[in-house]
Structure 1
Amino acid sequence: MSNYNYGYWEVSIEKHGRMKLPTALLKSLPEDERKNFWLAHGFGKHIMLWTKKAYEEQMDFLNSLNRNDVKVKRYRNAFLRNIANVECDAQDRFVIPKPLLDMYEIDKEVVLLLDNGRIEIWNHTEYHNQFAMLPSELEELNALIHSENFQKQNQN
């Protein structure tokens, strides 16, 4: 495993929604987490590709919640809808199910973001429209999130 837990890649989608995971991304994951993944709705306009460990952590969290709470039930049902277990082939490719491709308008190009075992799959255009910012905007945002008040409000 490399020392990188974060990364950004632009990847092409092949026919029928098949995608090859970049070698650098795979090397960033533990060896036993490189072939089997879970696809689910993201928390935004993207698909989440979870490693087994990250998916189990998410499911442990979901299972700890009160299923009789209407908001919890609604969230669980939305999160679990269209969830899929995928396994990479010998060329490190897997197929994204058509309902997820359609829902997130994924066609030919995607952006992959790796964040500690959670991999976001974005429509290329949507990602760049949503996160493009000027250097001055990035500077302001950086100052905000490093402020003491912001950190107090956003602690786990």
Structure 2
Amino acid sequence: MSHFLGEFDCKLDAKGRMMIPAGLKKQLPEADKEGLVINRGFEKHLVIYTRKEWDKIVDDLSKLNQYEKKTREFIRYFTRGATELSLDASGRVLLPKALTEYAGIGTEVVLSCQFNKIEVWDQTAYDEQMDNAPENFANLAEEVMGSLGRRGDE
């Protein structure tokens, strides 16, 4: 499986359409025929998945125990607003108004690639998020990733 790479600055037009940057479009060869899915992120941003990746996520969700209230709530909130996106002839996608309002997205947008998904942020919110970097990134890296080196020792 390949992962998306890059960070792209974009603009929404007056109708809420966004041009997919050429560098990102090259990483999405199946998007024209299979489509994309956009959804709410865990923070105030949106997330774009390929249809294939979204189907994997939904498959995982369908395996959860829906007799448990927390599971039903999670599924409900996670899938709320999920919408298929199609590229038009000009390579643009129309972002749903309800989702852009949820994320506070204006006309300036950042697409931030994160493994199997593309985060869609309002430019100002993204800059604030990145400005709040941890005081000591090396310590955070050790805390989050440090155990990877010890896996073989277990």
What is the CA–CA distance in structure 2 between the aligned matches of 1:18 and 1:45, rounded to whole Å? 19
Closer, same or farther: CA 49–138 of 1 in aligned 2, 3 Å: same
What is the CA–CA distance in structure 1 between the aligned matches of 2:41 and 2:134, rounded to whole Å? 27
> Does 2:99 match 1:100?
yes
1:66 aligned residue:
65
> Does 2:138 match 1:139?
yes
Q: How does 1:6-155 map to 2 (within 5 A)?
A: 6-29=5-28, 31-34=29-32, 36-132=35-131, 137-148=136-147
In angstroms, what is the RMSD of aligned CA positions?
2.4
DSSP 3-state at the match of 2:15: helix
Closer, same or farther: CA 34–25 of 1 in aligned 2, 3 Å: farther
> Are the equivalent residues in 1 in contact too, given 2:4–2:117 (CA < 8 A)?
no
Closer, same or farther: CA 136–76 of 1 in aligned 2, 3 Å: closer
Instruction: Give the residue type in structure 2 aligned to 1:12.
Output: K
Q: How far does residue 4 in structure 1 lie from its aligned partner after superposition? A: 6.4
Identity %: 28
Instruction: Give the residue type in structure 2 aligned to 1:86.
Output: L
Mark the runs of 5 or more structure 2 residues left unpaired by the alignment: none
> Are the equivalent residues in 2 in contact too, given 1:113–1:119 (CA < 8 A)?
yes
Closer, same or farther: CA 150–85 of 1 in aligned 2, 3 Å: same
Mark the runs of 5 or more structure 1 residues left unpaired by the alignment: none
What is the CA–CA distance in structure 1 between the aligned matches of 2:116 and 2:89, rounded to whole Å? 21
TM-score normalised by L of structure 2: 0.84
Q: How far does residue 128 in structure 1 lie from its aligned partner after superposition? A: 1.4
Q: How far does residue 149 in structure 1 lie from its aligned partner after superposition? A: 8.0
Closer, same or farther: CA 64–121 of 1 in aligned 2, 3 Å: same
Closer, same or farther: CA 135–80 of 1 in aligned 2, 3 Å: closer
What is the CA–CA distance in structure 2 between the aligned matches of 1:97 and 1:149, rounded to whole Å? 39
Closer, same or farther: CA 150–99 of 1 in aligned 2, 3 Å: farther
> Are the equivalent residues in 1 in contact too, given 2:3–2:116 (CA < 8 A)?
no
Closer, same or farther: CA 151–21 of 1 in aligned 2, 3 Å: farther
Closer, same or farther: CA 67–135 of 1 in aligned 2, 3 Å: closer
